[in-house]
A and B are shown apart, each in its own frame.
Chain A
C-alpha cells in the first residue's frame, strides 16, 4: 500500500505535469508537478482556468492517468453532476483534493 501511496504523492517530470489553460491553446503559465502542488494551485489559478478544465474532465483524467489515483479522480468526477461554478467550484475542488491529500499523507505515516 505504501508504494501505491508514494507513487500518487511523487514529484513528476515537466512532461507529466498538469498545465493550466484558460481556453484552447491559452496557457496561464501555471503548472503542477505533484498532487501537493496541484492542491495549492487550485487555490491560486484563474477561475476561468478551473471552469475550463473542470468541464472538460481534464482534472480527473490527469489524476487517474498520471498520478494514478482512481479514488480522487472518482471524487472529482462525481462533482461534475453538481452544478457548481466560480468560487464554490474552487472551494469544493480544494476540499476534495486536500481531504484526499491528508488521507494519503496519514496512510504513508502509518505504513512507515
Chain B
C-alpha cells in the first residue's frame, strides 16, 4: 500500500481482503488468510492499515427492521435549495436522527437527496414540515415513501466487472 497525501494505491490483495470483509465483516483474519492463501498476520496488518487511513470506515450490523419488530417507514426526500444555502441545509439534515443518508446532486437545480425514516406517515410529515421546510434556503420538497425494497447491496470493491477494480490492478 502506497500512501500519498492521504490517498491510497491499494493492490489486488487489499481488494481481496476488502471483498472478504464486505461479504462478512465478522470473518477472522485466519479465515481470510486461509481463503487467500496468505498468513493471518498479513491480513491483520493490511486491515489495520486500511482502518487507520479510513479505507475501512466502520463495521456495522445490517438489521432487518421487520424481523426486529420495529415499525417504520422509509422515504426518499428531494430538497430543492438556494445554491448559497445548500451546504448548510445538508449539514442540518445530517444532524437529524431521522435522516440516514444525505447527498447533493446538480441537475437543472441544486438538489439535496436524503433517505429519511419515521415511525409513520404522520411523523414523517411532522419532521419535514417542522424541521426541514423552515430551514433557510429550502425552496421546495418532494418526498416519496418507499413501499417495497427489491435490492439493497453495497458496491463490491473487488467486483471484476467494476471500473475501480480494473483501474487499480
Name A's B-contacting residues (CB within 8 A): 14-15, 17, 19, 21, 24-29, 31
Which residues of chain B (87-128) have a CB below 8 Å from chain A?
Answer: 121, 124-125, 128
Q: Quick one: closest B residue to A33, CB to CB?
A: B134
Is B54 an interface position by the 8 A CB rule?
Answer: no
Q: Are B136 and A25 closer than 8 Å at their CB atoms?
A: no
Q: Which of B124, B130, B139 contacts A25 (CB 8 A)?
A: B124
Q: Are A21 and B129 closer than 8 Å at their CB atoms?
A: yes
What are the residues of chain B within 8 A of A25 when measuring CB–CB? 75, 77, 124-125, 128, 141-143, 145
Is B133 an interface position by the 8 A CB rule?
Answer: yes
Q: How many residue pairs between the two chains, A and B, have CB atoms under 8 Å in the bound complex?
A: 42
Q: How many chain-B residues does the 8 Å CB contact rule pick out?
A: 20
What are the residues of chain A within 8 A of B129 when measuring CB–CB? 19, 21, 27
Is B140 an interface position by the 8 A CB rule?
Answer: yes
Q: Are B141 and A26 closer than 8 Å at their CB atoms?
A: yes
Q: Are A27 and B136 closer than 8 Å at their CB atoms?
A: no
Q: Which of A19, A24, A31 contacts B143 (CB 8 A)?
A: A24
CA–CA, A17 and B136, complex, Å = 12
What are the residues of chain A within 8 A of B138 when measuring CB–CB? 27
Q: Take A19-B129, A21-B125, A21-B129 as given contacts and tell me if A27 and B134 are in contact as well, using a CB distance cutoff of 8 Å.
A: no
What are the residues of chain A within 8 A of B80 when measuring CB–CB? 29
Name B's A-contacting residues (CB within 8 A): 75, 77, 80, 121, 124-125, 128-130, 132-134, 136, 138-143, 145
Q: Are B125 and A29 closer than 8 Å at their CB atoms?
A: no
New A-B pairs, 13, CB < 8 Å, besides A15-B134, A19-B133:
A14-B136, A15-B130, A19-B129, A19-B134, A21-B125, A25-B124, A25-B125, A26-B142, A27-B129, A27-B132, A27-B138, A27-B140, A29-B139
CA–CA, A21 and B142, complex, Å = 10
Q: Quick one: closest A residue to B75, CB to CB?
A: A25
Provide 16 A-B residue pairs closer than 8 Å at the C-beta atoms, listed in order of the A residue.
A15-B134, A17-B134, A19-B129, A19-B133, A24-B143, A25-B141, A25-B142, A25-B145, A26-B143, A27-B129, A27-B140, A28-B140, A29-B80, A29-B139, A31-B133, A31-B134
Shortest C-beta distance, B105 to chain A (Å), equals 18
Q: Are B125 and A24 closer than 8 Å at their CB atoms?
A: yes
CA–CA, A28 and B138, complex, Å = 10
Shortest C-beta distance, A40 to chain B (Å), equals 19
